[in-house]
A and B are shown apart, each in its own frame.
Chain A
Amino acid sequence: MKFHIALGALIALAAATVAKADTIKVGITVSQTGPAASLGIPQRNSVALLPTEIAGQKIEYIVLDDATDATKAVANTRKLIDEDNVDVIIGPSITPAALAMVDVVGEKKVPLIVLAASARIIEPPTGAKAWVFKTPQNDSLMADAVAARMAQDGVKSIAFIGFNDSYGDGWLTEITRALAAKNIALLDTERYARTDTSVTGQVLKAISAKPDAILIAGAGSPAALPAKALVERGYKGRVYQTHGVANADFLRVGGKDVEGEILPAGPVLVADQLPANNEVKPVAQKYVSQYEAKYGAGSMATFGAHLYDAGLLLTAAIPEALKKAKPGTAEFRSALRDAMEHQTGVVMTQGVANLSPADHNGFDARARVMVTVRDGKWLLLP
């Protein structure tokens, strides 16, 4: 029976920690460990850059790790809602976890701002998904941009080498659709795992299909492995990457082998190169300089900016919600949801968001730029 006594004690302890609601509580669950740690860690780091006060209300952030596991993400969601009584949740980093969390936030009526890319998470924004928002650009937006660029470059056929996970799946689906629209043939589809030690087989197969170009869909430094293998196997054609690679580690690992590769990205990746009249530029520059002041030069990754953007969305919406209800109440959460849904012209690091009941992301073509790798640095393409 010792166990039950211990359990009872723990329950009592937990009950005592249920907080009084005089601050706005923001729960955050991101993948700080596990396969998506390269997304989750810059996101966690960016929490330090979020505002500590909005409209005179103190904001408290509670950060949890979901270990890139949907079950854990759902458990975290319940913990944040039930134990910490949060007003809004930011996260998770990956699509499967987001899909699993949707029902919970819908049932508990707590707004959720997702940091994963798939449009499936927020569409259609009814039922439980009425409570779900998303700051990363829809992957369809990025896929359209790549396909358009390919068409512009005169590419008639491509081969696809992508992650054997949800990220690769999402890209494969979207690019297949986008390519069809541009009459570009998808000759071959290859998949690899993030920690694979060799992609020789995939690369040989892709090359032997004789495509005009190859699209690599991976996130972070693992996306450099096929790029290097392509060079090793003498591939001379064009290589496109996805916005997932947009961090310094990709350049470090890829080295000279990723020179000239083209990718779509959020404008924050090339904040300094944006034209002076670009409204996103000052916001993006501010994020980059703050982040790199704290974590070192060249440490910025666009994944973290999605979390920062969630903060910007809250900054815009919270004053409105505060007029209707007090934080920590169901009315406040509902008001916050309504307020977010009607935010227009929110300038973020990744674009300008015009949210509406039909679109819980709100980004348009301003939220993506085409970038290439030149001399080991990102270069904005006109």
Chain B
Amino acid sequence: MKRGLWLLFLLAWLAAPLLGIVPPFWISLANTIGIATVVVLGLVVLTGVGGMTSFGQASLMGFGAYTTALLNTSLHLSPWIALPASIAASVAAALTLGAVTLRLSSQYLALATLAWSVSLFYLAGNLDLTGRYDGIPAIPAVSLFNINLAAPEKFFVVIWVSVALAMLATANLLDSRVGRAMRALRGGAIAAASCGAPPAQAKLLAFLYAAALAGWAGWLYAHLQRAVNPTPFSFAASTEYLLMAVLGGAGHIGGALLGAAIFTLLNDRLQSFLPLLIPTPGNFELVAFGCLMLVLLQTAPEGLWPHLFRPRPQPRPIDETLALPRRNIPPPGTLLLESIALTRRFGGLVAVDALSFSACAGEIVGVIGPNGAGKSTIFNLLTGVDQPSAGQIKFRSEEITGSNAAAIAELGIARSFQHVQLVAGMSVIENVCLGAHLRGHAGPLRALLQLDCAEEAALFAEAMRQLDRVGLRQHADRPAGSLALGQQRIVEIARALCLDPVMLLLDEPAAGLRHNEKEQLATLLRQLRAEGLGVLLVEHDMDFVMQLADRLVVMNFGAKLTEGAPESVGRNPQVIEAYLGTAA
């Protein structure tokens, strides 16, 4: 129904210029806005969602524009054949750049894109191939079924169909298995890795997707202007696209359109109205423009789209009859996880000191110890988030030392985090669904074309089941950030369960829970144990651990103090001393 309305609106929008009722210049403006929107949509994914700042979108756009310009003028290929080539050229360029910088933190990516953007500008200006500073003129217009689309009101259709497709594709992409991994880049990157979705992959995908859109926009630009030169692909132009993204609301698809529209319209209208306000010769447009941008940013630091429309997660219908295949759980008592003389040094500090212990299927092992005993470091070592300085980790008797987080997740080891790692802006159920990442297979292409519906439905059904199990069903569609901290910890458990784990590592799951919530959690953990899962539990609440754990590992200063049944450990004088200080 809603989709139908949108389609109707789009058709009306596309038809309007052809009816001749819209003044021609507004069609030109709309064309400019449309092309900018396509570029900015890429930035929504890259910067708004992925948290990577790029000063190079315009130069990636340049790859697309120059590719089609060259193919059209030198080889006389049809623009339609050049379109995939344009997109491919931008993506290939991004791949080269991404290989160099994506492993580094985002400020280096920003620098790399900046550097790249400036050097490409001067390169294009000095190469005969690209027509030097004067560029390549006389690029042929696009035609379709022998209709020449040179006129702006006709090319308008091409541009705005592109905008609609790009928006749809972006929405599809973000609302998919790979999309959730991208959205987890800000705030939940480590969690995503522990769910089997490596951040590096998500980053690269976001970067390439943004490049593809830039290439597409470059193609549109070249055939609208029918001349290219280095200026529209300069560093300054890239900065303007970034400005549009932030102005509209980085991270919001609608924000891309809004940002591009406001930027373009403001620029144009200032030129018309400012001379009336300030009659002296002198150019105050840039000054007024900068000041207005500043006012808008201060009014809506998160961008105008969220400021005006306050978007929230949409409830989604879920068919809970769908199920995912489950893995075989080993019989209770099977040795699952072994830590053998595991050591982690940070400079001179030994956080974990030759620690050995094991955990079996159908068993809850508690790890306790005073603050700073190295408990969370252990978790990070065991789940591949951090790597040990020495020692071994085995899972089901196979060595897994040195594996990365995603590989460990694949084995069926799931975890929660001491510092909650949820993506605040995603709904609770989407966060939980991230846990089922490895149980789906749809890649970005299937996501873009929305061929992943059946799989998505099954993933969400699974997520809802796990959410139900932990008792947070009624919060499924709320933004995860709006939940109480204790509840967020429980969401993390649901997410871990979505992995269909063999072994569950929980880092202080009971912290911040009320009494009855703790009881519910205890019941859940017992039930999981009964199902044959191995559970490793770091916890400060002694009562909680004591009533649950089959075995306790007590740590102090990174080393194992003692190990045994809860009752015997509780009586151990060393343990009492560690907790209460020198009692003697």
- A: which residues have CB within 8 A of B? 2-3, 7, 10-11, 14-15, 18, 32-33, 44-45, 48, 63-65, 67-71, 74-75, 78-79, 81-83, 95-96, 99-100, 102-103, 107, 118, 120, 164-166, 168-170, 191
| Chain A positions within 8 Å of B135 at CB level | 70, 96, 99-100
Q: Digit string of B8-32 for contact with A (CB within 8 Å is 1, else 0)?
A: 0000000000000011111111001
Task: Output the least CB separation between B78 and chain A (Å).
Answer: 19
When C-beta atoms are compared, the residue in chain B nearest to A44 turns out to be B281
A103 touches B226 (CB 8 A): yes
Q: Which residue of A65, A75, A169 has the most chain B CB atoms within 10 A of its CB atom? A: A75
B227 touches A99 (CB 8 A): yes
| Residue from A10, A48, A65, A120 in contact with B285 in the complex, judged by beta carbons closer than 8 Å | A65
| Chain A positions within 8 Å of B232 at CB level | 69-71
Chain B binding site: helix, strand, loop or mixed by DSSP?
A: helix
CA distance A45 to B280 in the complex (A): 11
- B: which residues have CB within 8 A of A? 22-29, 32, 122, 125-126, 132-135, 137-138, 150-152, 221, 225-227, 229, 231-232, 258, 261, 265, 268-269, 271, 275, 281, 283, 285-286, 308
Q: A75-B268, A96-B133, A166-B133 are in contact. Are A11 and B231 (CB under 8 A)?
A: no
Q: A65-B285, A75-B32, A165-B133 are in contact. Are A96 and B25 (CB under 8 A)?
A: no
| Chain B positions within 8 Å of A168 at CB level | 133
B126 touches A102 (CB 8 A): no
| Residue from A3, A14, A68, A107 in contact with B23 in the complex, judged by beta carbons closer than 8 Å | A14
Total residue contacts A-B, CB cutoff 8 A: 106
Task: Output the least CB separation between B8 and chain A (Å).
Answer: 14
Task: Output the least CB separation between B354 and chain A (Å).
Answer: 59
CA distance A191 to B122 in the complex (A): 11
| Chain A positions within 8 Å of B271 at CB level | 64-65
B231 touches A96 (CB 8 A): yes
CA distance A347 to B77 in the complex (A): 47
Task: Output the least CB separation between A245 and chain B (Å).
Answer: 19
B137 touches A102 (CB 8 A): yes
Task: Output the least CB separation between B337 and chain A (Å).
Answer: 55
CA distance A235 to B225 in the complex (A): 46
| Residue from B126, B152, B283 in contact with A32 in the complex, judged by beta carbons closer than 8 Å | B283
A2 touches B308 (CB 8 A): yes
CA distance A169 to B125 in the complex (A): 9
Chain A binding site: helix, strand, loop or mixed by DSSP?
A: helix
A78 touches B150 (CB 8 A): no
Q: A2-B308, A7-B261, A45-B281 are in contact. Are A95 and B25 (CB under 8 A)?
A: no
Q: A65-B285, A78-B28 are in contact. Are A120 and B134 (CB under 8 A)?
A: yes
When C-beta atoms are compared, the residue in chain A nearest to B285 turns out to be A65
CA distance A75 to B23 in the complex (A): 14
Q: Which residue of B135, B152, B229 has the most chain A CB atoms within 10 A of its CB atom? A: B229
A103 touches B138 (CB 8 A): yes
CA distance A2 to B254 in the complex (A): 13
When C-beta atoms are compared, the residue in chain B nearest to A118 turns out to be B134
CA distance A78 to B132 in the complex (A): 25
Q: A3-B261, A78-B28, A164-B122 are in contact. Are A11 and B226 (CB under 8 A)?
A: no
| Chain A positions within 8 Å of B23 at CB level | 11, 14-15, 18, 82-83
A166 touches B134 (CB 8 A): yes
Q: A33-B283, A64-B271 are in contact. Are A99 and B24 (CB under 8 A)?
A: no
CA distance A166 to B132 in the complex (A): 8
A-B contact pairs, 27 of them (CB 8 A): A3-B308, A10-B269, A11-B23, A14-B25, A33-B285, A44-B281, A65-B271, A67-B286, A69-B231, A71-B221, A71-B225, A71-B231, A75-B32, A75-B268, A79-B25, A81-B25, A82-B23, A82-B25, A83-B23, A99-B137, A99-B229, A100-B227, A107-B150, A164-B125, A165-B125, A166-B133, A168-B133
